[in-house]
Amino acid sequence: MTVLFECTYRNERYFGLGLPADDEPLRLTPLGGVDLRKLLLARGDVAVLRAASGTVTVPVGERDAVSFRPPLLPDHPGDAMVGGFMQTHNVKVDADTPSQPNWFLKGLGDVLRTSGEELRAPAGAVALTEEAEIVLVYVTDDDHRPRYVGHTFGNDLTDIGRFRRNRGHLSYAKLCDAAVAPWLFLDEPPRHVTGHVTIERDGDPHWRGEFTTGVKALHYGLDAIMSELFSHDALLAPGRVHYVYIGADRSSFHDGFRMTDRDRVTLDFTSHGVTLSNTVRCASPALAAGAAERP
């Protein structure tokens, strides 16, 4: 299993291989003019590229100077789409379950946040919840074909309260930032993923719960729902990167917990060694500034 990541260090772009441990130096390879998206579409070997380019070692004491990026994120936010499916898991199946799950759009590439960054949500959110999910990554080739290149893990922050209040408001409920791990696993989507969630308030743990996800937990066939999604030409601009969140197990909301502004949410995908930790901010500075300027 190969894991690829990108980062910035001393104002230069690099990539690396493997899941780096917190207490070990980082081995990075200068990205130069290499387009990793095109390399993966051509089934190029990133390990060979690393060997040919040499590496830079970042000491443990300088790890704070490294800024990790969402995997394969284009420089222009409009070249990426972030979306996903809802109510895909077997534990959520009921008599009203449709033959094709509802798809939603969270936004463009600038809604993605890595661990340590704030997750923005509307100030008027009804009831926010975390959603620990697998994130599939696709790159659209020059022939308008979306090509699966790997997967990572994320938190699809959702105003589930708004959706529960009005089932027609799924699109609004999903317009929150999404956390994503920088690690791109270059293999098939995992069948079984386990982990736990911790939500802290004012520095103290207030809720903790387990989750299970993975292809095996889905009610739908993954190939079928992705084929349906990508049958729409409007999504298939060449070069576009798609981040597809494929649904979540039960969350803190289903246990009666209500998330508030400045809560810190940590998702530990224990089975795969990935952790995401973000603070939730229930505010929209851009909207607030605009409202203040209107007469």
Start-to-end CA span in the chain (Å): 58
Q: Is position 64 within any domain?
A: yes
Q: Classify residue 64 as exposed, middle or buried by CB count within 10 Å of its CB (0-12, 13-18, 19+).
A: exposed
Query: In the numeric block, which tokens belong to residue 38?
Result: 């095109």
Residue 219 φ/ψ region, left for φ over 0, alpha for ψ in the -120 to 50 degree band, beta for the rest: alpha
What is the tally of structural domains in the chain?
A: 2
Indicate if 147 and 266 belong to the same structural domain.
yes
Q: Is position 291 within any domain?
A: no
Note the pLDDT of residue 286.
55
Indicate if 117 and 23 belong to the same structural domain.
no
Note the pLDDT of residue 94.
85
Q: Is position 205 within any domain?
A: yes
What does DSSP say about strands 128-129 and 193-201: parallel, antiparallel, or unpaired?
Answer: unpaired
Note the pLDDT of residue 284.
61
Closest CA to 244 of 156, 164, 160: 156
Indicate if 224 and 125 belong to the same structural domain.
yes
Q: Is position 186 within any domain?
A: yes
Rounded Cα distance, 275 and 267, in Å:
6
Indicate if 158 and 243 belong to the same structural domain.
yes
Q: Is position 254 within any domain?
A: yes
Indicate if 160 and 274 belong to the same structural domain.
yes
Give the domain-ending residue among 49, 68, 87.
68
List of residues 6+ apart from 122 with CB closer than 8 A: 159, 175, 176, 282, 284
Indicate if 243 and 121 belong to the same structural domain.
yes
What does DSSP assign to residue 288?
A: H
Q: Is position 292 within any domain?
A: no
Indicate if 223 and 98 belong to the same structural domain.
yes
Rounded Cα distance, 155 and 247, in Å:
10
Closest CA to 156 of 92, 86, 76: 86
Indicate if 268 and 127 belong to the same structural domain.
yes
Give the domain-ending residue among 39, 68, 97.
68
Task: Indicate if the pLDDT at residue 295 is higher than 60.
Answer: no
Task: Indicate if the pLDDT at residue 287 is higher than 80.
Answer: no
pLDDT averaged over every residue in the chain = 93
Task: Indicate if the pLDDT at residue 285 is higher than 80.
Answer: no
Rounded Cα distance, 14 and 241, in Å:
19
User: What residues does 135 pair with on adjacent strands?
Assistant: 152, 245
Indicate if 133 and 244 belong to the same structural domain.
yes
Give the domain-ending residue among 68, 87, 110.
68
Closest CA to 112 of 176, 41, 208, 58: 176
Task: Indicate if the pLDDT at residue 47 is higher than 90.
Answer: no
Q: Is position 170 within any domain?
A: yes
Note the pLDDT of residue 292.
40
Q: What is the CATH number of the domain that holds 240?
A: 3.90.850.10
* Residue numbers of the domain that contains 17: 3-68
Q: What average pLDDT does this structure show over 177-186?
A: 98
pLDDT tens profile 186-237: 999 999 999 999 999 999 999 999 999 999 999 999 999 999 999 999 999 9
Indicate if 58 and 91 belong to the same structural domain.
no
Q: Is position 37 within any domain?
A: yes
Rounded Cα distance, 236 and 242, in Å:
10
pLDDT tens profile 126-168: 999 999 999 999 999 999 999 999 999 999 999 999 999 998 8
Indicate if 19 and 117 belong to the same structural domain.
no
Indicate if 14 and 137 belong to the same structural domain.
no
